[in-house]
Every structure is written in structure tokens, then in C-alpha cells.
């Protein structure tokens, strides 16, 4: 189960890295708090949460945008040792965008051209990437499920669901390598006054 699951997981990451590479995007997508105009710096109106970000061609739901990048979007690539170098390259590339680093670390999100950022900071856009950089929680989760006697049922269920959805044959694209960022942001680098 774990080998097949990782095949599907890594293939999804290949698709994500290839899509951004081919579109010459400087970043990756993930559900995150949206950007806002600099005139809204006082947050008179809180930016909306964008959960439908991604690649329409492979999405199971309608995609709202693929113009919003977040450093947190690199965590799935960072999580696996095979794709980690690519994930770190994407992460570093997004941090080079205007105002993408500040007193509290990485900024939440940035518009595709670097013209706007999200002035909000959330726990999930930070900790997920930090956990990935530290190897994730796979071993802790496995140990917990085994201690509770639920591991075998979990493996059986995931195997059933993934096999029904993806079959058991080779996956299209799994022979491709991952892609790193093709370029950075075209706008001049700016930093927060600290």
C-alpha cells in the first residue's frame, strides 16, 4: 500500500512542478489566505481564504485561481526525500518575491506577478512546511495507529480507495523527473522595515 500510495503522491507533485515550470510561474499553489491591495494594509477588509487553487486539468473540483502562490505550496515536495531538493528550490524561489520575508518569517501568499501579498499570517501555512522540512509525522502516525490497533484497517481502506480511483497499473507521467522553478519574480525585491 505505501509504495503505491507514494507513487500516486509523487506523481501529483510531478504534475504540480511541471505545470508551474511550463507556465513559467515563480511559485506553487495551495489553499491559503488571499492577497490584498497595499491600500488595505490596515486590514479594513480581511482577505478571503482561497481553497480552490490549483490545476484545473487534474482537479476533481472547479479551480478558482492559479495566480496565487504560497511558500506553503512547496511542503508536499519537501516532505519526500526524492522530491525534497525541488521543493526547497521552489520554497526559496517564492521567498525571493517582494515582501515575502518579514519579522515573523515567510509571508502567507503572493500574487503571480509579485504585485500583492497577503498581510495575514496563519499557523497552517507555516507549521506544515516546518514539519515537512523535519521529515513529517509519518512515523508518529504509524506508531499511534499501530498502538491503537487501527493500522491494518487504515492500510486496507486506503489501499481500496486508491486502487478504485487509480487502478493498479503504471501512472502516466511517473517516468518524468520533478521540475524546479524556471525563474523568479519580475518585480523588484522589497523588504519589510524591521
What pLDDT was estimated at residue 40?
Answer: 65
Q: Residue 121's pLDDT band (boundaries 50, 70, 90)?
A: confident
Q: Is the pLDDT of residue 2 over 70?
A: no
pTM of the model: 0.88
The pLDDT value given to residue 44: 66
CA dihedral 90, 92, 94, 99 (to 10 degrees): 180
| 120: confidence class by pLDDT, cuts 50, 70, 90 | confident
What are the pLDDT digits (tens) for 154-172?
999 988 988 888 888 788 8
Helices 151-166, 138-147: crossing angle, 10 deg rounding: 120
Asked if 92 contacts 77 with a C-beta cutoff of 8 angstroms, the reply is: no
Helices 151-166 + 2-22 axis angle, to 10? 50
Amino acid at each position: 500500500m505505501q509504495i503505491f500510495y507514494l507513487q500516486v503522491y509523487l506523481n501529483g507533485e510531478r504534475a504540480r512542478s511541471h505545470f508551474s515550470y511550463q507556465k513559467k510561474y515563480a511559485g506553487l499553489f495551495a489553499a491559503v489566505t488571499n492577497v490584498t491591495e497595499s491600500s488595505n494594509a490596515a486590514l479594513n477588509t480581511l482577505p478571503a481564504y482561497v481553497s480552490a487553487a490549483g490545476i484545473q486539468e487534474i482537479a476533481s473540483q472547479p479551480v478558482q485561481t492559479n495566480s496565487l502562490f504560497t511558500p506553503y505550496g512547496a511542503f508536499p515536495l519537501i516532505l519526500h526525500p526524492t522530491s525534497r531538493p525541488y521543493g526547497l528550490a521552489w520554497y526559496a524561489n517564492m521567498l525571493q518575491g517582494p515582501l515575502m520575508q518579514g519579522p515573523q518569517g515567510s509571508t502567507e501568499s503572493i500574487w503571480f506577478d509579485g504585485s500583492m501579498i497577503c498581510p495575514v499570517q496563519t499557523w497552517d501555512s507555516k507549521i506544515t512546511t516546518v514539519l515537512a522540512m523535519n521529515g513529517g509525522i509519518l512515523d508518529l502516525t504509524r506508531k499511534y495507529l499501530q498502538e491503537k490497533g487501527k493500522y491494518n484497517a487504515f492500510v486496507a481502506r486506503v489501499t481500496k480507495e486508491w486502487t478504485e480511483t487509480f487502478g493498479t497499473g503504471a501512472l502516466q507521467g511517473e517516468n518524468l523527473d520533478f521540475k524546479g522553478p524556471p525563474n523568479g519574480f519580475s518585480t523588484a525585491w522589497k523588504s519589510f522595515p524591521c
